[in-house]
Amino acid sequence: MPQATREIKRRIRSIQNTRQITRAMELVSAAKMRRAVQNVLMTRTYASLAWQLLTELAGRTDPAQHPLLAKRYPVKRIGLILVSSNRGLCGGFNHQLVNRVNLYLAHHRQQQVELEADLVAVGRRGRDISFRLGHSIVAEFTKPDVTTRLEEITPIAKLAMADYLSGRYDRVVVAYTDFISPVSQKPRIKQLLPIEEEQDLYLGAARVPQAPAAGWQPVSEPEQASASFNYEYLFEPSPDRVLEYLLPRLLEVQIYQALLESDAAEHSARMMAMRNASDAAKDMIDGLTLAFNQARQSAITTELADITSGRVALEV
């Protein structure tokens, strides 16, 4: 029995040490998460409006004005930028993203049997999982722990645009995890090239829609038609010069925003994973403490019984 109590005490000390580590990792991830969330909220509105401008511009501008506005059909080769994490201990963060990539490719292979896809890995964990699953990885970029500067993603954007302009890919997409809240993150695949709104019926909405305000009424089709405006863009000094500078910069913003979203989602997922690990360790410690007390009480009771029976035997 003393050996059993010593074993339980050893296990309790081991779990306490593990809980200290997970608790420290939770605090570090929480600090990084606050910084990453601040970054993503500062740029999200601008990135959303920039993408809206791009889609409207692509829909109203002659594709002959710039090669990035060209659209190629059928889609036979896809370039996919996979934004994952460098380290683990973040739950199913990376596996859920790779599973969503597999779903995306399977959906498109139903329409184009001979579809090929090349992955550009940003983050080591996604690269390793994709390699084990047999995906073709053509390039790898170092992912910073917390993205802070647009220059950090410039090589990725240049590679994607250069491959699209050369005709290597018919479509370029970026796969990342969209940050919704510290307890909710959803994998998302966003099409960058060609510039158009893609309806992800099989992927679901990227963010949870907000409830309509009080007094909101749906707009009828005649009212929508009357509210729409027929307009065109005027370029100064010339379409060539404006588009040559504007399109690459706005596409870089979309990739930059994807990395910011992924940073916030990663640190949130790791913080929650470490919190769950700390809570689980506490529950294990409580259970082992109860078992230790029961074992010690049993040992004391046994010793008292031996002493009592020995004394009775002597008196007899």
| CATH number of the domain within which 95 lies | 3.40.1380.10
Q: Please tell me the predicted confidence (pLDDT) of residue 238.
A: 80
CA angle 80, 83, 85 (to 5 degrees): 150
Closest CA to 148 of 36, 313, 243: 36
Measure the CA–CA gap between 276 and 272, rounded to whole angstroms.
Answer: 6
**Beta bridge partners of residue 201, listed in sequence order:** none
Number of independent structural domains in the chain: 1
233 part of a folded domain: no
Q: Please tell me the predicted confidence (pLDDT) of residue 108.
A: 85
105 part of a folded domain: yes
Q: Please tell me the predicted confidence (pLDDT) of residue 29.
A: 92
Measure the CA–CA gap between 175 and 193, rounded to whole angstroms.
Answer: 13
Q: Please tell me the predicted confidence (pLDDT) of residue 214.
A: 45
Measure the CA–CA gap between 91 and 25, rounded to whole angstroms.
Answer: 14
In this prediction, the residues of the chain whose per-residue pLDDT falls under 70 are: 1-3, 198-232, 316
CA angle 274, 277, 279 (to 5 degrees): 110
316 part of a folded domain: no
117 part of a folded domain: yes
CB distance 232 to 61 below 8 Å: no
pTM: 0.81
Closest CA to 262 of 123, 135, 150, 124: 123
**Beta bridge partners of residue 174, listed in sequence order:** 81, 190
Q: Please tell me the predicted confidence (pLDDT) of residue 3.
A: 65
Q: Please tell me the predicted confidence (pLDDT) of residue 292.
A: 87
According to DSSP H, which parts of the chain are helical? 2-60, 93-111, 124-132, 154-165, 221-227, 239-315
213 part of a folded domain: no
**Beta bridge partners of residue 122, listed in sequence order:** 83, 141
Give Cβ neighbours of residue 96 (< 8 Å, ≥ 6 apart): 177, 187
Task: Report phi then psi at 116, rounded to 5.
Answer: -120, 150
Q: Which domain holds residue 174?
A: 1-206+249-304
Measure the CA–CA gap between 252 and 304, rounded to whole angstroms.
Answer: 77
216 part of a folded domain: no
> Which CA distances in Å does 192 have to 15, 18, 22, 54, 88?
47, 43, 38, 10, 28
178 part of a folded domain: yes
221 part of a folded domain: no
Q: Tell how far CA 203 is from the center of its chain.
A: 14
Give Cβ neighbours of residue 119 (< 8 Å, ≥ 6 apart): 80, 81, 82, 101, 127, 130, 135, 136, 137, 138
